[in-house]
Amino acid sequence: MPAETTGLGAVDWETCALEARPDPEINRFVRREAGMVPSHLDYYTVCPWVARQFAYFALTNIPIHAIPPSLVELLGLVVAQDNSCRYCYAATRVILRALGFGDDTVRSLEQGMATSEITPATRAALDFGRRFSRASPLPGPDALAPLRAHGFDETAILEIVYVTALSVVANRIVTLPAVPIADVERMSERRWIRFLQPMATLVLRRARRKRYPTALTEPEPARPFAHVVRAFEGHPLGPRLATQVDDAWDSPILPRRTKALIVAVVGRALDCSLSEREARRLLQLEGVDFDVNDVLAHLASPALTEAEGIIVPFVRETVHYDPAPIQRRGRALMARLGQPVFLETIGTASLANALCRMGAVLSDPSA
């Protein structure tokens, strides 16, 4: 699509290299949870926990109650723009138009201009979303001060942090394998979508029925990022995040030590000492005794397995990237390691990118 039409149309996007492999069970899960099945789901089914993420990305299936659905989508828009994710950007435009937002508002957001449809509080949230996504430098707890100053309470702040992190995950999961974008970009330009506002409002109102929190169980010592999950204690997002982390960690496609190395690489790239410490703890639990500093400094080591030697430098590029170049590198990685390993690698890297950022802003500055 032209750049002036979608806002990201000038961004190069490679051809998807994934093979679709339908899985009825995963399709049923996503349909039950999200109410619909995205057309690209079958590309991900060989790594089930990554495929299940698409149920969590759906606006109707995010257990929020302190912020409006429109803010969720606005955050998704600015993060997708920041990450040049053409698919997420176009999909978010579809929902925003169904919620009644006009093209002028979207264009104003793209250009960072003021618009009467965006309140100062919403603008503060969007500024946080961009800062969280860019992580250059990585924001800390002080990044939440403007949200509090604009009247967001602690529950709303947790929801803003989570949905922004969810966009960080979604952008990478669909961008790195170059999910096809033509259909969703065409859909985002259809004028009749704005007439769906009454139906969209009704669906979202029903989806936002009261959701009671489920108490978090104490994680096993091997579980990563327990400190981030505990920040959501008492909120329905807590069990959701715990499930996302546990499903990723328990998947057998990659060894846990490889996943811990992915966390370490992302933490070092973000200059996040908290995440690096967590990665070292996880590596110690896996019996790793080689010099992790050597790996992080050179993105290589004789102590790495053949697969890790390919994965580690690729993961470093998932922190800040241009779509087409990293899509080409991803294609090369998949050619050498296969589709299941490739998908678990990008899924783990995507989740690590989100968790490292979440941990930085939700950490206790006095600890």
Q: What are the structural domains, with CATH classification, of the chain?
A: 11-207 (1.20.1290.10), 238-362 (1.20.1290)
Q: Which residue has the higher pLDDT, 188 or 143?
A: 143
- Contact criterion met (CB below 8 Å) for 361 and 132: yes
| pLDDT higher than threshold 60 for residue 55 | yes
pLDDT of residue 214: 64
Which range, 66-75, 179-188, 218-227, 243-252, has the best average confidence (pLDDT)?
243-252
The length of the chain in residues reads 367
pLDDT of residue 202: 45
How far out from the chain centre does Cα 256 lie? 21
Q: Which residue has the higher pLDDT, 164 or 192?
A: 164
106-115, 173-182, 263-272, 302-311: which has the minimum mean pLDDT?
106-115
Take residue 71 and report the two structure tokens written for it: 């803010």
pLDDT of residue 126: 94
Residue 183: pLDDT band with limits 50, 70, 90 = confident
Residue 41: pLDDT band with limits 50, 70, 90 = very high
**Mean pLDDT of all residues belonging to the chain:** 88
Q: Please give the span between the terminal C-alpha atoms of the chain, in angstroms, as a whole number.
A: 49
- Over range 45-59, report the average pLDDT: 95
pLDDT of residue 116: 60
Q: Which is nearest to 114 in space by CA: 194, 77, 124, 129?
A: 124
User: Would you tell me how many other CB atoms lie within 10 Å of the CB of residue 130?
Assistant: 15
Residue 91: pLDDT band with limits 50, 70, 90 = confident
- For 194-250, the pLDDT digits (tens) are 544 444 444 445 555 445 556 666 666 678 999 999 999 999 999 999 999 999 999
State how far the Cα of 179 lies from the Cα of 18, in Å rounded to an integer: 8
- For 284-324, the pLDDT digits (tens) are 999 998 899 999 999 999 999 999 999 999 999 999 999 99
Residue 36: pLDDT band with limits 50, 70, 90 = confident
Share of the chain above pLDDT 70, in %: 85
Residue 17: pLDDT band with limits 50, 70, 90 = confident
Q: Helices 120-134 & 69-82, crossing angle to 10 degrees?
A: 40
Residue 92: pLDDT band with limits 50, 70, 90 = confident
Residue 121: pLDDT band with limits 50, 70, 90 = very high
- For 337-358, the pLDDT digits (tens) are 999 999 999 999 999 999 999 9
